Amino acid sequence: MPETTQDIAYLRTLEQVATDYQHRPKLVRPGQALSTPQVYLKWYDLYPEAMPIEAQQAESARTFFRAELEAGRLALQNELGFIIHHRCSSVFIFYVCTWRNENELWETIYYRDENSPESFQRLEREAITPTYCVWVLGVVGHEMQAWTRYLYTQRDEAAKYAYTQDQLSGQV
């Protein structure tokens, strides 16, 4: 079969990466799930190796999200999913993701700057917004595969339990 090439003369003008950018891996570590009678959210801490998320930071976030659920500000009901607690320098981004309509991933994003007196803030979205960085995509990709495995099962209690135990750990 002949090789096909396409002339894309403008390709060199399409650059989104600064010339001095140095990409580095991050670590993902499963944490204690956020579990209530209404939801089960797996927990992931995602961080640069040199700046791990401390236990009290993760616990503070869990306490906040539990209060959001109890107050009805985070309107989740009878749902399975996951939270990614992502450290980006002094900013923490929280991706609260749940599976809905059989095969759709829904999310609510919160953030918190550890140098600010403000607590956790919900991100209000514009017409076009950033979604996932490459590190978060590593976790989302794993969760997509775990949910797909679940969808191919009888979707009974044992299968749900298997889904809750299927977590990513290591370098992304």
- Identity of the amino acid at 13: T
Is residue 138 very low, low, confident or very high in pLDDT (cuts 50, 70, 90)? Answer: very high
Q: Report whether pLDDT(14) > 90.
A: no
Q: What is the mean pLDDT of residues 35-53?
A: 97
Is residue 56 very low, low, confident or very high in pLDDT (cuts 50, 70, 90)? Answer: very high
Tokens of 42: 């797996």
What is the chain's alpha carbon radius of gyration, rounded to the nearest angstrom? 19
Q: What is the mean pLDDT of residues 135-146?
A: 99
Q: Report whether pLDDT(127) > 80.
A: no
Q: What is the mean pLDDT of residues 129-155?
A: 96
The Cα–Cα gap between 14 and 10 comes to: 7
Q: Order of strands across the sheet with 91-100? A: 121-122, 104-113, 91-100, 79-88, 39-47, 27-35, 170-171
Contact present, 34 and 66 (Cβ < 8 Å):
yes
Q: Report whether pLDDT(1) > 70.
A: no
List the one residue out of 166, 63, 159 whose CA is nearest residue 112.
63
Q: Report whether pLDDT(150) > 90.
A: yes
Q: What is the mean pLDDT of residues 122-126?
A: 86
pLDDT of residue 3: 75
In tens, the pLDDT along 65-88 reads: 999 999 999 999 999 999 999 999
**What's the angle, vertex CA 16, arms to CA 141 and CA 52, rounded to 5?**
50
List the alpha helices (DSSP H) in 3-156: 55-71, 134-151
